[in-house]
Structure 1
Amino acid sequence: MTQVRTFQVRAVAVIGCSLLLSAGLSACTSASSQAAAPSVHTQSVVPSEWIRGIDVSEARGAETRGVAFKDTSGVVKPALQIVKDHSYNWVRVRLMVDPDGRYGLFQDLPYVKAVMKDAKMRGLKVLLDLHYSHWWTDPGNQWTPARWAGQDVNSLSSSVYAYTKDVITQLRAQGTAPDMVQVGNEINGGMLWEVGRSSNMANFVKLTNAGATAVRDASGGAATMPAIMVHIAKTGNAAETVAWYKAFVAAGGWVDTIGLSYYPMWHGDFANLSGTVSALRSNFSWAKVYITETALYWSANQAGYTNLPYPQTPQGQYDYLKALTPVVRNAGGSGIFYWGAFWSQSGKWLTAPDWKDDDASRRSLFDDGGRATKAIDGLN
C-alpha cells in the first residue's frame, strides 16, 4: 500500500547481482539473460486462474463502525458479498503486528481470522499480506514492531519464523488457510529496518526466507503450502525491477510469484507497466507476475496529482481499469488486485490526526455515500 500518498531458491546465472542494491541497481552482468529457475520446486500450489482481486483490509472495520456498503443498485449488502456478486475470485487482506487501531491499521490476527472466515464462506480465495510491522509498510516505511525491537538478524529471523508459523497454524486450524502469502509488503528497501534493509541482501533474505519457511512448515510441507509472493513497487523502471529480483534470487531469496504495485501517478504510463511485466516474465519465466495493488480516482484527488491517464470521475476510474486488464494480460501478467476499494466514509472509522487529507477515499470503489462506483466492474 502507498497511502496518500521464497525452502531457498537458487540461481547460478546471476552471480554478483546482490551488489546492485548498493550500486544503484545498475544492469546485472550474467551468464544468461534469464535468471535460473529454482533448482528445487518448493511447492506446487500456484494459482492457475486469472486473478480478479480486491483488497478488503478496511471493509470489516468500516462496517463495524457503521458504514453500510451499497451495491451499484443502492441495495445494502455485506462488503464481501458485493465482492462476490461482481465476479471477483480473490481478496487480499493485510495483517499487522500489534497495531494500535489508528490510521486504518486495525488488522490484527483476530480481525484477519474473521475476514478469512467471511471470504472462504463466500468461495473467495485469499492473498494474505504479512506486513511484519505495526505501521504501514512501503518503500519508505518498514519499521520493526516493539515486540522485536533490538534483536539481531538471527533473533529477528527466529521471531519472524515463530510469528508466521503461528499465524498460518491458527488460520489452518479454523479451516481458512490462505491461498497465497506475501512475505512483506512493498519491500524494495527491505523489511524490519534497520536490520533487514535490502542494502544488506544477506540479512534481508534471511528474514524473508524465515517467513517463507514458516509458511511451508505450518502448511504440512511443500506440496500443500500456498505460493510465496514477493511484492515491490518499482514498476516504472523495468531494468531496476528485474535487477532487484535478480539480486534477491541470487542471494537465495524464496519467491514463487512476483507482485508489483502500479499506480499511474507514481509508476509511469501503461508502456512502462507493460515493459516491466514483459521483462519480468522474460527473466523469470517460472514466476507468475501480478499487479498486487492499483487504484485510480473517481473524484478529484486531494494530493494534487496531474499526470493521470484518465479523468477523475467514476467513468474515468472505470475506463482506467477496463484498459488496464489487457495491458497486464498481453504482457504476460496473471492478475490484478485493486487497493483501498472500501476506503469510504472514513470519518466513521479512520483516526489519523497527522494526515492532512484523505486522498485514499478518492480512489475507493465506493463513493462518499458508500455506494459502489461503476468501476467495481472495471476488472471484468
Structure 2
Amino acid sequence: MKRILTALLLLAAVLVAAHPAQAGTGPGRLQIRGADISSLAKSEALGGLYRDSRGRTGDALRIMSQAGLNYIRLKVWVNPADGYNTKTQVLAVARRAKALGLRLLVDFHYSDTWADPGKQFKPAAWEAMPFDQLRQAVYDHTYDVLDALRRQGTTADMVQVGNEINGGLLWPDGSNSSWAGTAALLGAGYDAVKRVSSATKVVLHLANGGDNGLYRWWFDNAAAQGIRYDVIGLSYYPFWHGTLEAFQANLNDVAARYGKPVVVVETAYPFTTGDDDNWPNIITSAEPYPGYPATPQGQSALLARVADIVRAVPNGRGLGLFTWEATWTGVRGNGWDPADPASGNGWENQALFDFGDRALPALSVLGRG
C-alpha cells in the first residue's frame, strides 16, 4: 500500500510539472484580482441591472467584491462626446468601490475617445498646443483627477500613464518615432502621479502581450530615455495576441529583464457566440482559442489559465489581472461610439454577466485567484 501511494504521489508530481498552468499550482493567491468596469456608470444610468450567481439583483461592485475581486480599473477621457468616463464618474465609482474595500487603477487615455495601438488622438482642446503647453496639459489633467480622488479619501493605488502605448501617445508629438517626445510626456504624467501620492504605482501599458520583440524594443528604448515607471502592464487577448505559451514566455522575460512586476490590465474571453444588443460582436468564433469553447465553462477555464500564468512569473513578480470590460452588458445606448447613442458595444458576449444579467462562473474563478 505504501509503495502504491508513493507511486501515485510521484505520478501526480509529474503531471503537475508537465501542466503547471492547468494544475493551478502557483504560489498563492494573486495580489490583483480585478475588472475594468469603465462602462458601469453609464450602464446604470441607462437602466442596466446586475445579479449575483443566484439571480438576486444588486450592486455590481458588491457582487464582484463578494465573489473575491479586489481591484477595479476605470478609464479617463478628457472631454468625450457623451460626458462619460470623465473625472465625475471616476470620483463617484471610486467612492463606492473604496467603501467596499476595493482598490483602484486609473487608466488615462489622454484623448476624448479610445486610445490604443492604432490611434492616439489628442483631445480637441489640446490639438493646437505647442509641445511645452501640451506637456503641461498632461501634467495638469493627471494631477487634477488624482488630486480630486485623494481629497475625497479614495487615492488611486495604481495609475496608467497612457493606454496601449505601443506607438507612443498624443500623436504626433508623443509618437515614439521620436522617443524624446514620448519620454517628456510620460515624464509629465509620472511627476503628476507621484506629486499626489508617492505610494501610487505608475504602470506603462502595451498591447500584444505575446510579442516579446515588441516589449524588448519598447522597454529597452524606455530605459535609454530614462522613462520612469513602477509596473509593466500588458493587454493579452488570446484570440489576437499569440499563444498562451508566447504570452507566458514574454511575461517571464520582461519581469526578469527589467526587474519590474507585471500585471495584465486587459484580458477577456467570450462565454457565448450569441448577441444581446443587435450590434455585431467582435469575437464570434465558437472556439476563439484552441481547446477553449465560447461557453461559460470555456471562459472560466481560459481566464483561469491566464491567472495561473501570471501567478507563475518567477520571484513573485506576477501581480494579477483585470478582465475587460466586466460590466459592459447589452444595455441600449451604452455603445462603442460615445458620439453615437445608437451604436452597440460588440463586447457583451465577453462580460462577466450573462444576457440575463447574472454573474457568470468566471467571476468566482477570478475571485479565487
Q: TM-score, normalised by structure 2?
A: 0.84
2:4 maps to which residue?
Answer: none
CA 355–271 in structure 1, closer or farther in 2 if over 3 Å, else same: farther
Equivalent of residue 56 in structure 2, options 57, 62, 75: 75
Give 1:273's match in structure 2, choosing from 227, 243, 247: 247
1:111 pairs with one of 77, 84, 89 = 89
Q: Distance in 2 between matches of 1:351 and 1:158?
A: 30
Output one character per residue of 1:19-43: Cα deviation in whole Å (capped at 9) or x when no partner. Answer: xxxxxxxxxxxxxxxxxxxxxxxxx
Pick aligned residue for 1:226 from 194, 197, 200? 200
Q: CA 1:348–1:99 in structure 2 vs 1: closer, same or farther (change >3 Å)?
A: closer
Secondary structure of the structure 1 residue equivalent to 2:332: helix
Q: Distance in 1 between matches of 2:143 and 2:294?
A: 43
* Distance of 2:311 and 2:79 partners within structure 1: 38
Equivalent residue, structure 2, for 1:343: 328
- Name the CA shift for 1:82/1:354 in 2 (closer, same or farther; >3 Å): closer
Find the residue that maps to 2:347 and give its secondary structure: helix
Aligned to 1:137: 115
- Match of residue 169 from structure 1: 147
For residue 296 of structure 1, what is the amino acid of its counterpart?
Y
Q: Which AA in structure 2 matches 1:344?
A: T
Q: Looking at CA atoms only, which structure, 1 or 2, has the larger radius of gyration?
A: 2
Q: Which residue, out of 254, 260, 271, partners 2:228?
A: 254
Mapping for residues 365-376 of structure 1, pairs under 5 Å: 365-376=352-363
Tell me the SS of whatever aligns to 2:163. coil
Q: Counterpart of 1:191?
A: 169
Whether the aligned pair in 1 keeps the contact of 2:334 and 2:345 (CA below 8 Å) is: no
Three-state SS of the structure 2 residue aligned to 1:112 is helix
CA offsets 1:140-181 (integer angstroms, 9 cap, x no match): 111100111112221111111111111121111111110011
Partners of 1:351 and 1:235 lie apart in 2 by 23
**Are 2:126 and 1:148 equivalent residues in the alignment?**
yes
Rounded Cα–Cα distance in structure 2 between residues aligned with 1:354 and 1:169: 31
> What is residue 182 of structure 2 aligned with on the other side?
204
**C-alpha distance in 2 between matches for 1:262 and 1:346:** 26
Letter of the aligned partner of 2:258 in structure 1?
Answer: F
Report % sequence identity. 36
Give the counterpart of 1:377 among 359, 364, 367: 364
How much does 1:239 deviate? 2.5
Output the CA distance in 1 between the equivalents of 2:251 and 2:134.
33
What is the rounded CA distance, in whole Å, between the counterparts of 1:80 and 1:354 in structure 2? 25
Aligned residues: 325
Confirm or deny: 8 A CA contact 1:291 1:337 kept in the other structure.
yes
* Alpha-carbon contact 1:67-1:348 (below 8 Å) kept: no
Instruction: Give the Å deviation of 1:349.
Output: 2.7
Matched, 1:294 2:267: yes
Structure 1 position 59 matched with structure 2 position 40: yes
Distance 1:235 1:243 in 2: 13
Measured in 1, the distance between the counterparts of 2:196 and 2:311 equals: 33
Q: Where does structure 1 differ by over 2 angstroms across 4 or more consecutive aligned residues? A: 301-307, 348-359
Structure 1 residues 341 and 170 mapped into 2: Cα distance closer, same or farther (>3 Å)? Answer: same
Between the aligned partners of 1:193 and 1:348, the Cα distance in structure 2 is 30
TM-score normalised by the chain length of structure 1: 0.82
Instruction: State the SS of the aligned residue for 2:164.
Output: coil
Cα pair 2:333 2:342 within 8 Å, conserved? no
Contact 1:66 1:348 in 2 (8 A): no
- Residue matched to 1:244: 218
Deviation at 1:355, TM superposition (A): 8.9
Q: CA deviation at 1:350?
A: 2.6
Matched, 1:362 2:336: no
Gaps of 5+ in 2: 1-28, 275-280
RMSD: 1.9
**Is the contact between residue 153 and residue 196 of structure 1 (CA under 8 Å) also seen in structure 2?**
no
Q: Which amino acid counterpart does residue 244 of structure 2 have in structure 1?
A: F
- What SS does the aligned partner of 1:54 have? strand
- Residues 96-124 of structure 1 show CA distances to partners (whole Å, capped at 9, x for unaligned) of 101112xxx71111111001101111100
Q: Distance in 1 between matches of 2:76 and 2:237?
A: 22
Partner of 1:18: none
Question: Does structure 1 retain, via aligned residues, the 8 Å contact 2:336–2:345?
Answer: no
* Cα distance per residue 1:312-351 (max 9 Å; x no partner): 1111101111222111211342211111111112325337
Q: Retained in 1: the 8 A contact 2:163–2:205?
A: yes
> Structure 1 unaligned runs (5+)?
1-47
Distance change (3 Å), C-alpha of 1:338 and 1:204 = same
CA contact (8 A) 1:275 1:331 kept: no
| Map 1:31-46 → 2, pairs under 5 A | none
Give the deviation of 1:237 after TM superposition. 1.5
2:121 aligned with 1:124: no
1:85 aligned residue? 66
